[in-house]
Amino acid sequence: MTSDKTPKRRSQAWYGGISKDTTIHRAWMLNQGTPPDNFDGRPVIGICNTWSEFTPCNGHLRDLAERVKRGVLEAGGVPFEFPVMSLGENNIRPTAMLFRNLASMDVEESIRANPMDGVVLLCGCDKTTPSLVMGAASCDLPTIVVSGGPMLNGRHRGCELGSGTAVWRMVDELKAGKIGPQEFQDAEQGMARSPGSCMTMGTASTMASMMEALGLALPQNAATPAVDSRRRVLAQMSGRRIVDMVRSDTKLSDVVRRDSFENAIRVNAAIGGSTNAILHLIAIAGRLEVPLTSEDWDALGRDVPTILNLQPSGAYLMEDFYYAGGLPVVMKWLADRGLLHPDAASVSGTSIGAQVAAAENYNTDVIRTEGDPLTESGGIAVLKGNLAPLGAVVKPSAATPALMTHTGPAVVFEDIEDYKARIDDPALDVTAESILVLKNCGPKGYPGMAEVGNMALPAKLARDGVTDMVRISDARMSGTAFGTVVLHTAPEAAAGGPLALVQTGDVITLDVPQRKLHLHVSEDDLATRRAAWTPPEIVMAGGYQRLYVSSVLQADKGVDLDFLVGKRGAEVPRESH
C-alpha cells in the first residue's frame, strides 16, 4: 500500500496527519466500524447511489453498490456509499427533466464537499444518468458509471411488451376501439417483470449505451440485463477499475473528450437512440467545456444507418440485444466503416477500438450488420427555419417515411390543458393531413420540458385507422415513443419563440431531407402577432422552479442552468471548523 500513501491524494486533505481537523474527519467515520488504517492514504472511493423505491428502475442499486464495494476493496481502496436525489421517470411530476439540473447540483456539491478520490456513479432511469454525469463532470475526479441495466423483456398473453412503447401503442388502440379497458389494464402485469430500467431503446437504455460509447462505463454496460449475474460482475470490475484510475490520476475529462462525443453521436444513430440524448450529451459536454452543438449531431449522425432492430424503431428488446452480442457489436461495425475514433479512451484502460475489436454478432436480425439496416439514415435530424430559428429535432427511424416531407394546416393547442380538453372532441376540425401544434411545453413553459410531444392522435382519426400525423412542439418525447414528431423547437413558445405565434389554419412545411421547418406566414403578419403576444404566467413563482425558469437555457444548449455550465473542479481550500 506504500505507493498509495501519497500526500497528494485528495482524501488526505481530510484524513492525513494529526490535527484537530483530521481527528474530526476520521473519528466519526469510525462509528461505522471502519478500521483506522482505512484512512492511511489508500484511494477513497465514493459510490454515488440513486437507489430509491420511488425510482423503481433503480430499486436494485444497493445490491450493485455492494458489488462495487467488493471490487474497490479487492483493489486496495476503501468505498463509501452516499445517496443523491433520485429521479423516477414514471412517478415524478410535472416531469423528471425539471429536476435533472437540481440533482446534478446535489451530485456536484456532494462530490466536492466530501473526502473522495474517485467516484462510481450508480444510475439507471432516464434522468439519473445525465444528472450524475453532469455533476461529476463539473468536479472532474476519476469517474466510472455503472448502469442498473434493463428489465427482462415484458410478456403478456404470449406476446412481448416493450416498456413505454406498448403503452403508447395500446392507448391508441384503446382510443380506436381495437382493445378494451380490461386488456389495457391486464397488460400492466407483464410489462415490468424484474428490476431494471425500460427494456426498449428508450432514454435509459440510450443513456446506458451513451456511457459505454463515451468510454465512461465498462463494455456491456448498455445491455446486460439488470438481473443477469454478469451485471454484478460488471459492477465489481468497475470497483476495481476506479481504484486503478485514482492511482493513475485518470480524470473524467481525460476519458471523455471531443472524439468520445463524436463516437457517442454515431452510436446513437446506429442504435436508433432517444432524442433526449441530444439534450443530455450537449449538457454533459457543456460541463466538460467540450464544444458540441446540435449541428454536430446532425452532421455526424446523418449518414449512419440504424442497424439495431429494437423498439421503438424496430421489433426487439434489450434482452435480445444482449444475447446478440450487445453494444460492442454495433461499435465494431462502426469502427470497421471508419465511423468510430478507435483511439478514444475508455475507463476499461484500453482504447475503444481495442475494446470492441473481438465483438461477435450472434443474431443478425437483431443487430443488422449484414446489410438491410432498419433505416439508411439514422440519427437525429436537426431542422431549422422560421418556425425554429435555434432548431428542432425529429428522429427519422421512429417516423413515417411518407410524412418526412409534408405540408399541412396547423391545429394549434395553446398548452397541454387545451390539448387534453379538445383533442377528442368530435367537432375538432382536423384531418390526417393536419399538423398538430402544441405550445408552452418547453423548458420554461411546462416548466421542465415534459415528454408530451408525442401527443396521442384525435380519437376520431384513430378510429378511422390513422396511425401517425405530423406533430410539432417545444416539448420532448419519451425515448420509448414513436411517430413523425418534431420536438425541442427553439426558442420555445414561452420564451417568445415563433412557435408562440402559430395560429390554427396556418400552413406549415416539414421537409426532413432538406432539414427545414417553415411557417407560411409573412414576416409582417408575424411582427403584428408578436406585438400582441404576452408571455404565459409562471406556474410556481417561488422555490427551485423560480431559479429554474429564470436561468434555464434553451434546447440547443442542452437545457442546463446558465450558471452550471463548465468545470469548477474539486478543490475546497477551507476547513469546516
Q: How far apart are CA 277 and CA 490, in angstroms?
A: 16
Q: What residues numbered 461-490 form the site for ligand FES, per CB under 6 A?
A: none
Look up cell 398548452; give the residue.
415
Nearer to Mg ion, 232 or 280 (CB): 280
Q: Going residue by residue from 158 to 177, which x/- string records binding to ligand FES, judged by CB under 6 A?
A: -----x--------------
Nearest 5°: CA angle at 474, between 422 and 163?
80
Q: Which of ligand FES, Mg ion, none interacts with 90 (beta carbon under 5 to 8 A by kind)?
A: ligand FES
Q: Residue 275 corresponds to which amino acid? A: T
**Shortest reach from residue 95's CB to ligand FES, in Å:** 12
**Shortest reach from residue 150's CB to ligand FES, in Å:** 8
Nearer to ligand FES, 122 or 292 (CB): 122
Question: β-strand 485-490 against 154-156: which pairing, if any?
Answer: unpaired
87 and 96 Cβ atoms separated by less than 8 Å: yes
Q: How far apart are CA 272 and CA 67, in angstroms?
A: 31
Nearer to ligand FES, 56 or 373 (CB): 56
Nearer to ligand FES, 207 or 500 (CB): 207
What are the Cα distances from residue 528, in Å, to 6, 30, 523? Answer: 68, 70, 9
Q: What residues numbered 379-418 form the site for ligand FES, per CB under 6 A?
A: none
Give the range of 72-80, 196-204, 403-411, 469-477 binding ligand FES by CB under 6 A: 196-204
Q: How far apart are CA 396 and CA 313, in angstroms?
A: 9
Q: How far apart are CA 343 and CA 261, in angstroms?
A: 13
**Shortest reach from residue 164's CB to Mg ion, in Å:** 6
Pick the binder of ligand FES from 122, 152, 198, 279 (CB under 6 A): 198
**Shortest reach from residue 124's CB to ligand FES, in Å:** 6
Q: Which of ligand FES, Mg ion, none interacts with 136 (beta carbon under 5 to 8 A by kind)?
A: none
Nearer to Mg ion, 140 or 451 (CB): 451
Comparing CA positions, the residue from 347, 246, 255, 241 lying closest to residue 6 is 246
CB count in 10 Å sphere of residue 336: 12
Q: Which of Mg ion, ligand FES, none interacts with 163 (beta carbon under 5 to 8 A by kind)?
A: ligand FES
**Shortest reach from residue 196's CB to Mg ion, in Å:** 13
Q: What residues numbered 80-139 form the site for ligand FES, per CB under 6 A?
A: 89-90, 125-126
Phi, psi (degrees; rounded to nearest 5) at 347: -65, -10
**Shortest reach from residue 218's CB to ligand FES, in Å:** 20
65 and 81 Cβ atoms separated by less than 8 Å: yes
558 and 564 Cβ atoms separated by less than 8 Å: no
175 and 457 Cβ atoms separated by less than 8 Å: yes
Nearer to ligand FES, 130 or 202 (CB): 202
Q: How far apart are CA 325 and CA 49, in angstroms?
A: 28
Nearer to ligand FES, 97 or 340 (CB): 97
**Shortest reach from residue 524's CB to ligand FES, in Å:** 46
Pick the binder of ligand FES from 135, 142, 195, 202 (CB under 6 A): 202
**Shortest reach from residue 90's CB to ligand FES, in Å:** 5
Q: Which of ligand FES, Mg ion, none interacts with 320 (beta carbon under 5 to 8 A by kind)?
A: none
Paired with 385 in beta bridges are 388
Q: Which of Mg ion, ligand FES, none interacts with 117 (beta carbon under 5 to 8 A by kind)?
A: none
Asked if residue 204 binds ligand FES (CB under 6 A), the reply is yes
Look up cell 437483431; give the residue.
366
Q: Which of Mg ion, ligand FES, none interacts with 143 (beta carbon under 5 to 8 A by kind)?
A: none
Q: How far apart are CA 506 and CA 509, in angstroms?
A: 10
Nearer to Mg ion, 141 or 207 (CB): 207
Secondary structure of residue 337 in the 3-state scheme: coil
Q: How far apart are CA 477 and CA 483, in angstroms?
A: 10
Q: Which of ligand FES, Mg ion, none interacts with 50 (beta carbon under 5 to 8 A by kind)?
A: none
Q: Is 181 exposed, middle or buried (0-12, 13-18, 19+ CB in 10 A)?
A: exposed
Q: Is the Cα dihedral 329, 126, 65, 137 positive or negative?
A: positive
Comparing CA positions, the residue from 104, 330, 102, 107 lying closest to residue 213 is 330
Nearer to ligand FES, 198 or 347 (CB): 198
Nearer to Mg ion, 203 or 263 (CB): 203
Q: Residue 357 corresponds to which amino acid? A: A
Q: Which of ligand FES, Mg ion, none interacts with 554 (beta carbon under 5 to 8 A by kind)?
A: none
Binding site for ligand FES (CB under 6 A): 57, 89-90, 125-126, 163, 197-198, 202, 204
